[in-house]
Amino acid sequence: MKLTCNREKLASAFGTAASVAPGRSPKAILQNVKLEASSDAVTLIATDLEIGIRIELPDVEIETPGSVVLPVKRFGEIVRESSDEKLHIKSDGQSLTVWGQHSEFKLPMQNPDEFPNVTDFHEEKYHEVPAKLLREMIRRTVFATDMESTRYALGGVLWEMSADKILAVGTDGRRLAKMEGPAIAVGGHETGDNPVIVPSRAMQLIERALSDADAEVRVACRSNQMLVKTPRVTVCATLVAGRFPKWREVFPDESGAKQIDLLAGPFNAAVRQAAIVTSEESRGVDFTFGEGELLLTARAAEAGESRVEMPISYSGEKIPITLDPGYLSEFLRILEPEKSLRLAITNAEGAVVLNTDDGYSYVIMPLAREK
């Protein structure tokens, strides 16, 4: 195998693929990225046996087709540290040689035939989703999952797909993020009564793989996998086993709630200021929604007290509630500062719902109010 490629594009693609390879594994071959060169395309492949990725590398001159296994650490350092515009890669089956204009490296290599196969996208049934929408859906839901749970349902994002819509939900049991948007089902692809749960780590990888140049993305679900296909990248992920909470049953009824319009940026600034004096023991911020004003207060014996006022368009009886400022800020900071949102609140004991006009909702449960 012998080829020449653009170093910057190789470094970017290799970095994405390498993020999938496990740092430790009983199968040493997995701690590499496989490069496959056919007569007209070069593909980088990586997997940890739960998540797999295939990335087509652009701007490559292929002299001799073949395949080679690239060690994540040392090859990654070579492509990052090199200053050459182009790098040449050659393998004789025993060793790997990488060279540019001013440097050359020879590395030992493992047998590429031992590298496990990573599924490519050959589905006839799938959903077509705008790339920008899919990226937003991932960003706006994955942060609300339980990142410490790698095996159970709360460690993933729930996906429901119908004829003309796609919906994602993430929750850790204390807050819930939901977003939906338009999508087109091809070949009758739907999840029906069996939504799928995709690991949070796979969601983050898919978001990273989406580029601004991508227009439409194909998403397909099998019995135990989700596959996502962009023009250059395919990601496959083993689904999370387990029962996801019946989120529709716990989603608050907003019919009797007070509706308050806010801007994400100013609201987040006020929350962050009030949270300065919170601590692990006293992490709550008291919110009091009153006539034309929101008052935020916090106190911790070892940190002091805070008081922040913010004008709001609300008229009615005062509504006090205690919320975790971290949960609020995580939601607010993924929105544009000028983004409008509507906060729905009923009383001090009920959940708060925050909605935007583009299909996004966030539910946060109150903390016990300190006496």
- Dist CA 77 CA 14 (whole Å): 11
Q: Give pTM, 2 decimals.
A: 0.91
Q: Which residue has the higher pLDDT, 44 or 300?
A: 44
Nearest to 75 by CA among 49, 47, 44: 44
Whether residue 369 is predicted with pLDDT greater than 70 in this model: the reply is: no
Percent helix, strand, coil in the chain, to 5, is 20, 40, 40
Using one digit for the tens of pLDDT, what is the confidence trace for 83-92? 999 999 999 8
Q: Which phi and psi angles does 12 have, rounded to 5°?
A: -65, -50
CA distance 129 to 203: 15
Mean pLDDT score of the chain: 93
What is the Cα–Cα distance from 246 to 235, expressed in whole angstroms?
Answer: 28
Q: pLDDT band at 93, cuts 50/70/90?
A: confident
Residue 82 and residue 68: Cα distance in Å, rounded?
20
Res 109: pLDDT = 87
The side-by-side arrangement of strands in the sheet containing 42-47 is 66-71, 32-37, 42-47, 51-57, 233-238, 225-229, 216-221, 126-130, 184-186
Q: Is the dihedral of CA 159, 169, 130, 44 positive or negative?
A: negative
pLDDT tens for 299-322 read 987 879 999 999 999 999 999 999
Distance CA 366, CA 193 (A): 31
Token readout for 173 is 């049991």
Residues 6+ apart with CB under 8 A from 18: 33, 46, 72, 76
CA-wise closest residue to 33 among 49, 17, 22? 17
- The structural domains of the chain, ordered by start, are 2-114 (3.10.150.10), 126-248 (3.10.150.10), 252-364 (3.10.150.10)
Contact call for residues 198 and 156 (beta carbons, < 8 A): yes
Whether 149 has a pLDDT exceeding 70, the answer reads: no
Whole-angstrom CA distances from 184 to 49, 85, 124, 187, 189 are: 30, 41, 13, 10, 9
CB of 174 within 8 A of CB of 327?
Answer: yes
In sequence order, the 6+-apart residues with CB closer than 8 A to the CB of 138 are 157, 168, 203, 204, 206, 207
User: Tens of pLDDT along 159-191?
Assistant: 999 999 999 999 999 999 999 999 999 999 999
- Residue 248 is inside which H or E element, if any? helix 247-250
Instruction: Judge whether residue 78 has pLDDT over 90.
Output: yes
The answer to whether the beta carbons of residues 354 and 365 sit under 8 Å apart is no
Is the pLDDT score of 370 beyond 80? no
242 has pLDDT over 90:
no
